[in-house]
Amino acid sequence: MNVLELDKQHTWHPYNSLPSKTTILPVKTTYAQTIVLEDGTELTDAMSSWWSAIHGYNHPTLIKALKTQANTMPHIMFGGLTHKPAVELCKKLADLSGLPSVFLADSGSVSVEVALKTAILYKKAKGQNVSKFIALNNAYHGDTLGCMGVCDPQTSMHSLYGEYMPSNIFCNIDKIGNTIEQYKDEIAGVIVEPIVQGAGGMKIHSPEYLKIARKLCTKYDIPLIADEIATGFGHTGKMWACDHADITPDIMTVGKGLTGGIMTLAAMMTTRNISDTISSSDIGVIMHGPTFMGNPLACSVANASIDLLLNSSWEQKVQNIENIFTQELQSLNNLEIVQEVRNIGAIGVVELKSDKHALTVQEFCVKHGVWIRPFGKLVYSIVSYNITNEELYKITNTLKKALKSLK
For 74-91, how does the pLDDT look when each residue is reduced to its tens digit (9 = 90+)?
999 999 999 999 999 999
Give me the catalytic one of 227, 238, 377, 394. 227
What average pLDDT does this structure show over 34-62? 98
Which range (162-171, 280-289, 346-355) has the least confidence? 162-171
Inform me whether the pLDDT recorded for 256 exceeds 80. Answer: yes
Give me the catalytic one of 123, 238, 256, 394. 256
State the average pLDDT for the chain: 95
pLDDT, tens only, 328-387? 999 999 999 999 999 999 999 999 999 999 999 999 999 999 999 998 899 999 999 999
pLDDT of residue 15: 87
Specify the pTM.
0.96
What the chain holds in terms of domains, given with CATH numbers, is 3-59+313-404 (3.90.1150.10), 73-310 (3.40.640.10)
393 flagged as catalytic: no
Cα distance between the two ends of the chain:
40
pLDDT of residue 407: 66
φ/ψ bin of 402: left (φ > 0), alpha (ψ from -120 to 50), beta (otherwise): alpha
256 flagged as catalytic: yes
Question: CA angle at residue 204 from 198 to 207, to 5 degrees?
Answer: 115
Give me the catalytic one of 45, 57, 122, 140. 140
15 flagged as catalytic: yes
Give me the catalytic one of 15, 21, 39, 282. 15
